[in-house]
C-alpha cells in the first residue's frame, strides 16, 4: 500500500499579518489570514498563531487533521536548529523566543522554524520563477531587503540559520546608518524606503514632480506606491529615482553574481512591481560590472508566487529537514 502524502501546516509570521495555510506539493489547500498585533507581545502573537492554525484545521475538516508537520517562516535572526527567534525587526520585544516549542505545546507535531526570506527562496525555487534550477538567489525588496540563497537545491543556512542577509552587504562604506548598526547597507540604498527618501530629497531640493500633487503637498507621505504610479505616468523625477535605486540594486547583484555564480536571481517583494523599470537597469549594471562569464549566464527575473512564497517554501523546508 502506498502511503498517502500528508500536507504541511505552514505559517508565515509577518510584522503585520499571519498567513496560515495547508500546503501539499506547492498547492495551497486552505488559507487563513490574521493580524499579528505585534504590540500585544509574545503571548498575544502565539495565541493568534494558534487560533489561525485552529481555523485552518476546522476549515479542512477531519480528513485533513492528518498533518505531516508544522513549518513556520519568520523574519529576523532565526536559530533554525532549535526553533528559536533570537530577535526580529518585525516583533520588537521578541528575544530568544522558543517559537517552535511554544506551538508544539498546543499542537504536538514536529515543528520547524525558518527565516521568512529563506522560505520564500525555497518556494520560488520549488514552484515559482526558479523551478528546475539548482542555484538561485531570491531577494525580497520592500521596506527592507531580505534574501535566501539556494545552493544545489537546498537553502544555504550557514552555521546556524543566519545566512542570506543580502540586504546588509555593505555597498557604500561611507554611507548612512542602517538599522542593523552597520553603514551603507544595500537595504539603505535600494529598498522602498530608500526610494521614497530619495524622491523626498529631490523634491525638497526644488525639483518638480507629479508626486507633489499626488500627496497634496505633504511630501513626507510619498511612498514607493505613489512613485510607481508616477513612473507609469512617465514622471521624470520618479523615473530618475527608480533608475537610481535600480542602479544600487544592480551593484548588490554584481556582488552576488561574482560570489555565487547563480543561474538566476529572483526579485520579489513590493518593489518588484516596478518590473522592467527596475530589472532592466539592474541587469545592465550586472553586465557592465560583474565577471563576464557568470554575468552572461545569470537571469534576473521577477518572482512568481507573490505573498504565497513563504508558506509554499515553508512546506519545502519541512520536507527537506525531515
Interface ranges with Zn ion (CB under 5 A): 168, 178, 180, 182, 185
Question: Measured from the CB of residue 199, what is the shortest distance to Zn ion in angstroms?
Answer: 21
310, 314, 317, 322: CA torsion to nearest 10 = 180
* Distance between CA atoms of residues 61 and 116, nearest Å: 28
Residue whose CB is less far from Zn ion, 169 or 214: 169
Chain-centre distance of CA 281, in angstroms? 21
Task: At 222, give phi and psi (nearest 5°).
Answer: -70, 130
Phi/psi region, residue 158 (left: phi>0; alpha: psi -120 to 50; beta: rest), is left
Residue whose CB is less far from Zn ion, 99 or 186: 186
Residue whose CB is less far from Zn ion, 86 or 182: 182
Residue whose CB is less far from Zn ion, 24 or 87: 87
Residue whose CB is less far from Zn ion, 78 or 237: 78
Question: Measured from the CB of residue 178, what is the shortest distance to Zn ion in angstroms?
Answer: 3
Task: At 102, give phi and psi (nearest 5°).
Answer: -65, -35
Name residue, grid cell 527596475: 278
Question: Measured from the CB of residue 180, what is the shortest distance to Zn ion in angstroms?
Answer: 3
Please check whether residue 147 is in contact with residue 162, taking contact to mean a CB–CB distance below 8 angstroms.
no
Question: Measured from the CB of residue 3, what is the shortest distance to Zn ion in angstroms?
Answer: 46
Please check whether residue 138 is in contact with residue 150, taking contact to mean a CB–CB distance below 8 angstroms.
yes
Question: Measured from the CB of residue 189, what is the shortest distance to Zn ion in angstroms?
Answer: 10
Residue among 80, 78, 99, 98 at smallest CA distance from 88: 78
Question: Measured from the CB of residue 144, what is the shortest distance to Zn ion in angstroms?
Answer: 9
Name residue, grid cell 505585534: 38
Q: Is 225 helix (H, G, I), strand (E, B) or coil?
A: helix
* Distance between CA atoms of residues 288 and 189, nearest Å: 19
Residue whose CB is less far from Zn ion, 142 or 182: 182
Question: Measured from the CB of residue 201, what is the shortest distance to Zn ion in angstroms?
Answer: 20
Residue whose CB is less far from Zn ion, 168 or 244: 168
Amino acid at each position: 500500500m502506498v502511503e498517502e502524502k500528508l500536507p504541511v501546516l505552514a505559517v508565515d509570521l509577518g510584522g503585520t499579518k499571519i498567513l496560515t495555510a495547508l500546503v501539499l506539493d506547492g498547492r495551497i489547500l486552505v488559507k487563513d489570514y490574521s493580524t499579528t498585533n505585534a504590540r500585544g507581545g509574545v503571548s498575544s502573537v502565539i495565541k493568534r498563531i494558534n487560533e489561525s492554525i485552529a481555523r485552518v484545521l476546522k476549515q479542512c475538516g477531519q480528513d485533513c487533521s492528518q498533518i505531516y508537520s508544522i513549518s513556520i517562516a519568520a523574519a529576523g535572526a532565526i536559530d533554525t536548529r532549535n526553533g528559536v527567534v533570537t530577535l526580529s525587526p518585525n516583533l520588537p520585544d521578541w528575544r530568544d523566543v522558543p517559537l517552535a516549542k511554544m506551538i508544539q505545546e498546543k499542537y504536538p507535531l514536529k515543528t520547524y522554524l525558518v527565516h521568512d526570506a529563506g522560505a520564500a527562496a525555497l518556494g520560488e525555487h520549488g514552484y515559482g520563477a526558479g523551478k528546475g534550477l539548482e542555484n538561485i538567489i531570491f531577494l525580497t525588496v520592500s521596506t527592507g531587503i531580505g534574501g535566501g540563497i539556494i545552493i544545489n537545491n537546498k537553502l544555504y543556512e550557514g552555521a546556524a540559520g543566519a545566512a542570506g542577509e543580502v540586504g546588509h552587504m555593505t555597498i557604500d562604506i561611507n554611507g548612512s546608518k542602517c538599522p542593523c548598526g552597520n553603514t551603507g547597507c544595500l537595504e539603505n540604498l535600494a529598498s522602498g524606503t530608500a526610494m521614497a527618501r530619495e524622491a523626498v530629497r529631490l523634491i525638497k531640493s526644488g525639483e518638480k514632480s507629479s508626486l507633489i500633487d499626488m500627496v497634496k503637498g505633504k511630501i513626507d507621505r510619498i511612498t514607493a506606491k505613489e512613485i510607481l504610479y508616477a513612473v507609469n505616468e512617465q514622471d521624470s523625477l520618479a523615473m530618475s529615482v527608480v533608475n537610481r535605486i535600480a542602479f544600487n540594486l544592480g551593484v548588490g547583484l554584481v556582488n552576488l553574481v561574482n560570489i555565487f555564480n547563480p543561474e538566476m536571481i529572483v526579485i520579489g517583494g513590493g518593489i518588484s512591481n516596478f518590473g522592467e523599470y527596475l530589472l532592466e537597469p539592474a541587469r545592465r549594471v550586472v553586465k557592465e560590472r560583474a565577471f563576464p562569464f557568470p554575468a552572461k549566464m545569470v537571469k534576473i527575473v521577477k518572482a512568481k508566487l507573490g505573498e504565497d512564497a513563504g508558506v509554499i517554501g515553508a512546506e519545502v523546508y519541512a520536507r527537506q529537514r525531515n
